[in-house]
């Protein structure tokens, strides 16, 4: 029987949109169970404030992932720009393995570069500066030492600032920079890149110096579920209708 590896990203699980969690639980039962592996390429959660986050929906999600892992399906998770504080507690409770961004995996004999995708938006200088700040180990340790309620307020304030700033940015600045895409792929010596973050699902093909390249962009789960099904026969980017 031909195997299948699944890729999803940008679910942004939150309590105001319970239908996203319900769709994930259905997806785990109907699609992910029995698959060769499940990769979640960032922003599984709208925000992750630490392993002591008391959001009940998050715990329901982790319980479902743990059951999937216990059934024999490996789960690999990458930090996104919203849940970059995922740590050892999440790994244990979800049965998943956190991967560095970027990572190269063997996808049925093809080396594939996987990323969340925010590193590819290199023209968004304000965001890249913010990213470097919050990925700093000292910043994270200081933040995690604050009471949970204070962390929640900080996250709310940062989100409001981000929305205001994004309204003023040109659309192309928040998309990937082609030269940065090429640099990462050339540096890792791969012809296939899979990422999320931009919420612009597509399967890009191009040819450079007689070599074929592919970039597969996963969509978000706000209005539908975006999933990439990879098998030895090829790649199929789908939308899961609600």
Tens digits of residue pLDDT in 1-46:
468 999 999 999 999 999 999 999 999 999 999 999 999 999 999 9
Which pLDDT score is estimated for 90? 96
- pLDDT per position as a tens digit, 57-97: 999 999 999 999 999 999 999 999 999 999 999 999 999 99
Mention every residue, 6+ apart, whose C-beta is less than 8 A from residue 30: none
The reported pLDDT for the residue numbered 1 is: 45
What mean pLDDT comes out for the span 113-142? 95
Mean pLDDT over 110-114 rounds to: 98
CATH class of 5-240: alpha beta
What confidence tier does 165 reach under pLDDT thresholds 50, 70, 90? Answer: low
Between CA 155 and CA 47 the distance in angstroms is 8
Q: pLDDT higher for 29 or 54?
A: 29
Q: Name the band, by pLDDT with cuts 50, 70 and 90, for residue 167.
A: low
Task: Check residue 174 and give its pLDDT.
Answer: 74
Domain residue extents for the chain: 5-240
What is the C-alpha to C-alpha distance for residues 221 and 56, in angstroms, rounded to an integer? Answer: 19
Average pLDDT, the chain: 93
Contacts by 200-208, CB closer than 8 A, 24 or more apart: 200/175, 201/226, 201/237, 201/239, 202/237, 203/235, 203/237, 208/182
Is residue 112 over pLDDT 60?
yes
Residue 170 pLDDT > 80, yes or no?
A: no
What angle is formed at CA 103 by the lines to CA 100 and CA 106, rounded to 5 degrees? 140
């Amino acid at each position: 029987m031909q195997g299948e590896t699944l890729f999803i990203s940008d679910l942004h699980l939150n309590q105001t949109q319970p239908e996203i969690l319900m769709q994930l639980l259905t997806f785990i039962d109907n699609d992910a169970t029995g698959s060769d592996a499940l990769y979640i390429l960032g922003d599984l959660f709208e925000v992750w404030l630490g392993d002591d986050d008391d959001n009940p929906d998050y715990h329901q999600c982790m319980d479902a992932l743990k059951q999937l892992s216990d059934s024999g399906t490996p789960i690999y998770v990458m930090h996104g720009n919203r849940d970059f504080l995922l740590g050892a507690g999440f790994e244990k409770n979800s049965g998943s393995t956190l991967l560095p961004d970027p990572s190269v995996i063997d996808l049925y004999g093809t080396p594939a570069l996987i990323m969340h995708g925010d590193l590819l938006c290199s023209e968004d200088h304000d965001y890249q500066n913010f990213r470097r700040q919050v990925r700093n180990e000292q910043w994270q340790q200081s933040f995690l030492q604050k009471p949970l309620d204070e962390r929640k307020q900080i996250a709310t304030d940062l989100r409001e600032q981000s929305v205001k700033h994004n309204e003023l940015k040109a659309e192309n600045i928040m998309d990937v920079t082609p030269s940065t895409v090429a640099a990462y792929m050339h540096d890792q010596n791969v012809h296939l890149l899979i990422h999320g973050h931009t919420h612009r699902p597509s399967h890009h093909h191009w040819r450079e110096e007689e070599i074929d390249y592919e970039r597969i962009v996963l969509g978000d789960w706000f209005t539908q579920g975006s999933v990439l099904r990879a098998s030895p026969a090829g790649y199929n980017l789908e939308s899961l209708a609600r």
